[in-house]
Amino acid sequence: MDERHQVVVGVLADEGLPEQVVTSLADELPEVLAAQVGGQARWRVEHVVDQLPLDDDGEIPMRELSRRHRRDRGWDLLVLVTDLPRRSGTSPVAAGVDVDHGVAVISLPALGAVLVRRRARALLVRVVRHLLSRRSGAEGDPGDQGGVTRLSEALAPTKPLSDDDGSAQTHVALVGLRGRLRLLAGMVRDNRPGRLVPHLAGATAAAAGTAAYGVITSSFWKLADALSPLRLAVISVVAILVMTAWLVVYNRLRDRPRDAAERRKAVLYNISTATTLAIGVACMYAILFVLSLLGAAVLINSDYFAQTLGHPVGAGSYLNLVWLCTSVGIVAGALGSSLEDEETIRNATYGRRERERQERNRRERGHRESADR
């Protein structure tokens, strides 16, 4: 008979990526916890998928969720997994731990854009170890437990950070440039830039039409032949930046809070928005380039192409032509994006949590403007 005491860990995951990550980890977590936290206990992990609520401040009510779910489900510990970027003051955090209430929260954007599953597993072990060690009266800290070496390889640089109010709540905060870049990468991943292309029907039509016109126009042939690869590369970068800037400005996607502290926080959100759009436009560029190249290969006879240019042509001549036509098409696509509905662009650009944050900010601005009147 197994006389080891049982520890039941409940994992409550947000819908979307948190759900995918937690579901993929669920079966292996009891064994991992036994190996890395404590083999003297029998571990049981139960996971539930639900949309985690937000309070009036836009934060997840950890303590309220802990009281409800631990009581109703008989869980000893609760770990929340969300795709909501979190901060403690001005510091971005990967995890928050409330030892008094037996609950921790893990923010997936802080884990970056790659190896998310492995990093989430390492961080989950870290917070459970901290909760259990403090619960049993042993010294514990989210930054000094065993396995820090492994974790430092899997996570951006972190440091333990306590709340200023003297509570037992602590955080695993991201520090340094690497930490902020990893958070930015995670926020961009959560926005899923690839979703942008199908939602830009007007922009895609304008870009494709302009590129097709360039492919069959002899003046484009001669211009592309006269341009160096370096200049063509610069033109393509400028075209992507122009369309990105147009989408941001025209659709009012830039965050501009009045409060100075909020403006500092908004910098990362604005960079995330611009990066998401730039990647989405780059995906459109790549698709348009491939389609234009196929069209040029089918439509343009090589002998006639050589006769027009006045010299023999090869694959490089076709590539230069398509390169130029795609760049001009992307600029035309920026104008075509004006036909898109602003809300459609927002839904395609942002993940669910970011849309919730922006909607809350708009409501707050509306309340302030009403009060000013």
**Dmax (CA) of the chain:** 89
Share of the chain above pLDDT 70, in %: 83
Lowest mean pLDDT among 5-14, 130-139, 342-351: 130-139
Residue 175 buriedness (CB in 10 A; 0-12 / 13-18 / 19+)? middle
User: How many other C-beta atoms lie within 10 A of the C-beta of residue 372?
Assistant: 6
Which residue is listed with tokens 């440039």?
A: 177
Cβ 339 vs Cβ 251: under 8 Å: no
* Structural tokens at position 110: 């802080």
Cα-Cα-Cα-Cα dihedral sign, residues 125, 92, 164, 365: negative
Q: Which is nearest to 219 in space by CA: 327, 333, 324, 326? A: 324
Would you say how long the chain is, in residues? 373
- Digit-coded pLDDT (tens) for 181-190: 888 999 899 8
State CA 106 to chain mean position distance.
15
How many helices, marked H, and strands, marked E, lie in the chain? 15, 8
Q: What is the pLDDT of residue 166?
A: 52
**Parallel, antiparallel or unpaired: strands 91-98 and 103-107:** antiparallel
Q: What is the mean pLDDT of residues 136-161?
A: 50
Q: What is the pLDDT of residue 245?
A: 93
pLDDT band, residue 141 (cuts 50/70/90)? very low
- 3-state SS, residue 147: coil
pTM above 0.85, yes or no: no
The structural domains of the chain, with segments of one domain joined by +, span 6-176, 192-372
Looking at domain 6-176, which CATH architecture does it have?
Answer: 3-Layer(aba) Sandwich (3.40)
Q: What is the pLDDT of residue 150?
A: 47
Q: What is the mean pLDDT of residues 210-238?
A: 95
Give Cα separations from 68 to 26, 129, 133, 219 (angstroms).
22, 22, 23, 70
- Digit-coded pLDDT (tens) for 24-80: 998 899 899 988 887 677 899 999 998 888 887 778 889 999 999 998 898 999 999
Q: What is the mean pLDDT of residues 137-153?
A: 45
Q: What is the pLDDT of residue 35?
A: 87
Amino acid (1-letter code) at residue 280: G
**Parallel, antiparallel or unpaired: strands 42-49 and 6-13:** parallel
Q: What is the mean pLDDT of residues 365-372?
A: 58
Q: What is the pLDDT of residue 346?
A: 77
Residue 227 host element (H or E): none
Lowest mean pLDDT among 34-48, 151-165, 287-301: 151-165
Which residue is listed with tokens 């070496």?
A: 149
- Would you say residue 156 has pLDDT above 70? no
Phi-psi region at 78: left, alpha or beta (left = phi > 0; alpha = psi -120 to 50): beta
